[in-house]
Structure 1
Amino acid sequence: MCVGYFLVLLDVTVVNVALPRIGSSLGAGVSGLQWTVDAYALALASLMLASGTVGDLLGHRRVVLAGLAVFGVGSLACGLAPDVGSLVAARAVQGVGAALLLPGTLAIISHAYADEAEQARAIGVWAGIGSLALPAGPLLGGVLISGFGWRAIFLLNVPIVLLSLGAVVLTVRESREPRAGRFDVPGLLFGCGALLATVFAFVQAGRSGVGSPVVIGAAIAAVVLLGALVVTERRAGDEAMLPPALLRRPVFGAANTAAGVMNLCTLGLLFVLMLFLQSVQHHSPLAAGVLILPLFLPLAVVAPLGGRMTSRLGARLPGTAGLAVAAVGLALLARAEPGSGWLVLLPAFLLWGAGMGLLTPAVVAAAVAAVPGERAGLASAISNTARQTGGAVGIAVAGAVAGQPGSGGHFVRGFHVLALGSAVLYLAAAALVAALLPGAPPPDERKP
C-alpha cells in the first residue's frame, strides 16, 4: 500500500521539476503548465470519493489493482504525448488511476490495524514511506530530465506499476463493506462540475483578468453547481457521496479542513517555487531538485514520528505544532529574491517540511478515527479528496497570482504574496485544529 501512495506522490513532485522543460518543448505557457498539473489533481480529487465507496462495495484490493493499471496506461500516454493537449488528457487518465488507487491504500491499512493506536502508527509509516516520493521526485526527476528528457519521468512509472501489480496480487487480502451504501451519481457529477468550474475560473483569471466574462461565467457556474451538490447530498442522506452526518462531526470537519489548507498552500507554492528556481534563478532541473530536497527530507523523516505522537498524545498537539512550524517556514520564503543563495531558502524549507511531517499523520488519523469502521474507505477518500481539492485550487490560484516567470518583478512579488498568505492560512488552520481535534487519551488507554 505504501508503494501505491509512493507512486501518486512521486508524480506530483517529478512533474513540477519538469515544468520549464515541458513548456519549452511543447510551447506551453503558464496556463498550459497549470493544466498539466491540475488535470491530474482534478481527476484525482473529483473521483476519489466515488472510488472510496466503490472500494467499500466491491473490494479495496480489486479497486487498487484497477487503479494501478489505469495509472500505468496514463503514464505511458504522457511519455508519448505529441502536444500539450494530449499531455493534459493523459494526465487526466493518470489522475483517474490515482483516484482509484489512493483511497484503497489507506482503507486496507485501516482494516489491517483495528486498534486505534496501532492504526495511527501504521498510518505514520504509510505517510513516511509514501512521503519518500517527495524528496525522491525532485532528485530523480532532475537526473532523468537532464539525461533523457522530460518524457522519462512518465515512462519510469510503467515498470514500477507492473511490479506493484504483482506485489498486490501476492500480499493483499480482499476487504469490502457491502453495507457502505450505493454509488451516488448526482453527487459525483455536481462535485466534479463544481471543482472543474472553480479551477477553470482561477486559471482563466490569470490569463484574461478577473473581470473577464468567461471568468465570471465560470465562477457563477461553480456556485450554482456547489449549491446543487449541497441540496443533492442533503436529500441523499447517509447514501450521499458526502454524507451530511459525517461532515457535521466537528473533528472530521476540522481534520479535513486542515488537510485541504495544507495542500492548497503547499502545491500552489511548489508550482511557483519550481518556476522561480529554474526560470528566475536559472538553475538546471537537477540543481533545482537538489535545492528543494531540504523541504521533503524532513517530511519523510518526521511523518513516522508524527504518527507515534498521534497514537500517544492525540491529534491536537502534533497537528497544531505542525501547522505553526510550517507557517514560520512559509513566511521565511518571502525573503527569497532572484539573487538569493541557498542559505536563504534552507531554513524555510526545513521548517515547512518538518511541520507537514507532524501534521499529515495527525489529520489523517483523526479523520479516519472520527467515523465508524465500516466507512473506512469513504473516510480515507474524503481525507484525500480534501487534500487534492486544496492542491488543485492552490495551483490555479498560485499561477493566477504570480503570472509568467518572464514578467520580472511581478512574478517575484506574487511569489512573496503567496508565501505570506499561505503562512496566515496555516495559522488559521492551527487555531481550528487546537480547538477541535482530540487531545491525549486517558493514561490507562495510552499504548506504547
Structure 2
Amino acid sequence: MLVPPLALAQFAASYAATTMTVAVSVLAADLGTTVLGVQTAITLFTLTMATLMVPGSKLTDVLGRKRCFVAGLAVYGAGALLASAAHGPVALVLGYSLLQGVGSALMIPPIYILVTVASPDIETRARRFGVVSGAGALGAAAGPLLGGLITTWLGWRSSFLLQVLIVGVIVLLALRIAEPPETPARTPFDVGGAVLSAVGLFFVVAGVLRPAWFLIGLGAAILAAFHLHIRARERGGREPLVSPALFRDRVTRLGLITQHVQWLILQGSFFVIAVFLQQARGYDAVETGLTLTPATIGILAASAAAGRMARRHAQRRLIRGGFVLAIAGLLLVLLLVRADSGVASAVPGLFLLGAGVGIMLTASVNLVQSRSPDAAQGDISGVSRGVSNLGSSVGTALAGSVLAGAAGHGFAWALATMTAAGVIGLIAAVLLPAR
C-alpha cells in the first residue's frame, strides 16, 4: 500500500495546477477579476510550491516522512475548501495559491523520499517512479479535460470540492504507510536558509511574471547569498538547509536542469494552448480539455512503460529521446495549428509532446534521486521537487508574459519560447556523462 496514496497525492497537486487553465475566463468573470489576475493566482500556486519545497523536504528530517505527508494533506485540503467558497480574488489566492501551495510543499517531498528508500533496486524504483511521475503528469494533462467537464457541468467550485474528497481518501490510505527505519536523525532546522531560498526564488519568478529584470537580479543576488549561507553553515559544523555537496555533482546539476525544463515546457505549453483555444477559437472548458487529450494519452503510454524502458535503456538516453519528441511535438503544433484549422491538426504535435514529457519525467527523477544516499534523500528530494515546481511556475509566468507582450502573434511566439526552452533542456541532457 505504499505507492497508491503517494501517486494519488502527486496527481492531486499536479491536477490543481492545470485544471485552472480551462476555467480562466469563467473564474475571471465570476470573481470580478481579469484573465491576468487568474494567471497570477495560478503562478502563485506553483511559485509557493517551488519556494517552500526545499524547507518542506527538510522538515521530513524533523517531523518524519509520514507525519509531514499527512500534515501537508491537511493543509492542502483546507486550502481547497476555502477556494471552493471564494467570492473574490483574495480568497482564491489565500485558499488555492497559498494554502494549497504550502500543503503541496509539505506532502510532495515525502512521496519521492519514501519511493527511493523503500525500493530495493533501480528497476523497481523506476517502475514506482513511473507510477508516481505518471500520476503527476496525468494530473497535469488530465486537469484541463476533467476540470473542463466539472466546470461546465457542476461549476468551478466543484473542482475544488473534488480535491477535498480526494484528500480524504489519501489520508485514509496514508494511515497504512509504515515509516521506514531509515528515517534520518532529527536535526536543527535552518530557518535562515529557508527564508533566503524562498525569498530568492520568489523574486526570480516575480521578475519573469512582470517581466522586470530588477526583480530577477534581486532574486539571483539573494540566491547567491543563500549559497554562501549554506556553505558557511556547513563549515561551522551546523546542518544547512541543503548540503552544498549536492550541487558539486555534475550529473545531479544537469539532471536538475532537465527536470526544470520538462515542467516548464509542459505547464507553459498547456497554458498557451488552452488560452489560444478559448480566445482564438472560442472553445469552452470541455472542448479545450478534449483537444488536449492526445497529450494525456502520450504521457500515460510513456509512463506505463517506464519500468521496461529503464531496464532496456540508460536514463541519459531516455531523457534525450524525451526532449527530442517533445521539441518535435511543439514544432508540429506551431506548424499545423491555426485559428481556422481543424481539431485533428493538434493531435500529432500534442501526442508527441505528451509522450516526450512522459518518457523523460521518470528517467530524470530516477537519475537524480539515485545519485544520493538514503541519508541525503531529504535534501535531494526537496531540491528536485523545488526545481520541478519552479519550472512549472516559470513556464506559466514566461508564457503569460510573452502572450501579453507580443502583439499580433503572441501565441506563436509563446510556443516558440517553449520550444527554445526544450532545446536548452536537450543540450543539458546531451552533456550528461555516459556513466
With the length of structure 2 as denominator, give the TM-score of the two structures. Answer: 0.92
Q: Do the aligned partners of 1:201 and 1:219 also contact (CA within 8 Å) in 2?
A: yes
- Equivalent residues in 2 for 1:35-434 (5 A)? 35-91=40-96, 92-174=98-180, 177-179=183-185, 181-205=187-211, 215=212, 217-237=214-234, 239-335=239-335, 336-403=337-404, 410=407, 413-434=409-430
Paired letter, 1:229: F
- Equivalence for 1:443: none
Paired letter, 2:107: L
d(CA) in 1 for partners of 2:216 and 2:145?
38
113-122 or 247-256, larger mean C-alpha shift: 113-122
The ranges of structure 1 where at least 4 consecutive aligned residues each deviate by more than 4 angstroms after the TM superposition are none
Paired letter, 1:339: D
Runs of 5+ unmatched residues, structure 1 = 206-214, 440-448
Runs of 5+ unmatched residues, structure 2 = 1-5
Structure 1 residues 131 and 397: CA distance shift in structure 2, 3 A? closer
Name the SS for the 2:8 alignment partner.
helix
- Equivalence for 2:3: none
Q: Do the aligned partners of 1:142 and 1:289 also contact (CA within 8 Å) in 2?
A: yes
Q: Do the aligned partners of 2:204 and 2:217 also contact (CA within 8 Å) in 1?
A: no
Paired letter, 2:228: V
C-alpha displacement of 1:323: 0.6
Q: Do the aligned partners of 2:123 and 2:307 also contact (CA within 8 Å) in 1?
A: no
Paired letter, 2:404: G
Structure 1 residues 311 and 100: CA distance shift in structure 2, 3 A? farther
d(CA) in 2 for partners of 1:419 and 1:301?
24
Name the SS for the 1:283 alignment partner.
coil
d(CA) in 2 for partners of 1:175 and 1:342?
52
Q: Do the aligned partners of 1:294 and 1:346 also contact (CA within 8 Å) in 2?
A: yes
- Equivalence for 2:21: 16
Q: Do the aligned partners of 2:207 and 2:213 also contact (CA within 8 Å) in 1?
A: yes
d(CA) in 2 for partners of 1:4 and 1:312?
29
Structure 1 residues 185 and 312: CA distance shift in structure 2, 3 A? farther
Structure 1 residues 311 and 121: CA distance shift in structure 2, 3 A? farther
- Equivalence for 1:210: none
Structure 1 residues 437 and 373: CA distance shift in structure 2, 3 A? farther
Name the SS for the 2:372 alignment partner.
coil
C-alpha displacement of 1:217: 4.5
C-alpha displacement of 1:29: 2.2
Structure 1 residues 119 and 437: CA distance shift in structure 2, 3 A? farther
d(CA) in 1 for partners of 2:47 and 2:209?
13
Give yes or no for the alignment of 1:3 onto 2:4.
Answer: no
Paired letter, 1:303: S
- Equivalence for 1:28: 33
d(CA) in 2 for partners of 1:354 and 1:147?
30
Q: Do the aligned partners of 1:111 and 1:175 also contact (CA within 8 Å) in 2?
A: no
Name the SS for the 2:339 alignment partner.
coil
Structure 1 residues 394 and 130: CA distance shift in structure 2, 3 A? closer
Q: Do the aligned partners of 2:251 and 2:433 also contact (CA within 8 Å) in 1?
A: yes
Q: Percent identity?
A: 28
C-alpha displacement of 1:432: 2.0
Q: Do the aligned partners of 1:295 and 1:353 also contact (CA within 8 Å) in 2?
A: yes
C-alpha displacement of 1:53: 1.4
Structure 1 residues 114 and 236: CA distance shift in structure 2, 3 A? farther
C-alpha displacement of 1:252: 0.7
Q: Do the aligned partners of 1:146 and 1:285 also contact (CA within 8 Å) in 2?
A: yes
d(CA) in 1 for partners of 2:309 and 2:17?
27
Deviations 1:249-298 (A, max 9, x none): 01111111001011122212222221111122101101111110111221
d(CA) in 2 for partners of 1:29 and 1:156?
25
Name the SS for the 1:170 alignment partner.
coil
C-alpha displacement of 1:325: 0.8
Two-structure CA RMSD over aligned residues (Å): 2.0
d(CA) in 1 for partners of 2:181 and 2:341?
52
Structure 1 residues 414 and 53: CA distance shift in structure 2, 3 A? same
Name the SS for the 1:178 alignment partner.
coil
Name the SS for the 1:113 alignment partner.
coil
d(CA) in 1 for partners of 2:178 and 2:266?
32
C-alpha displacement of 1:59: 1.3
d(CA) in 1 for partners of 2:147 and 2:115?
29
Deviations 1:198-221 (A, max 9, x none): 22223233xxxxxxxxx3543343
d(CA) in 2 for partners of 1:386 and 1:240?
18
d(CA) in 1 for partners of 2:411 and 2:198?
29
With the length of structure 1 as denominator, give the TM-score of the two structures. Answer: 0.90
Deviations 1:105-138 (A, max 9, x none): 1111112113223212221122223433234322
d(CA) in 1 for partners of 2:158 and 2:215?
35
d(CA) in 2 for partners of 1:424 and 1:46?
25
Q: Do the aligned partners of 1:16 and 1:271 also contact (CA within 8 Å) in 2?
A: yes
Q: Do the aligned partners of 1:298 and 1:354 also contact (CA within 8 Å) in 2?
A: yes
Paired letter, 1:43: T
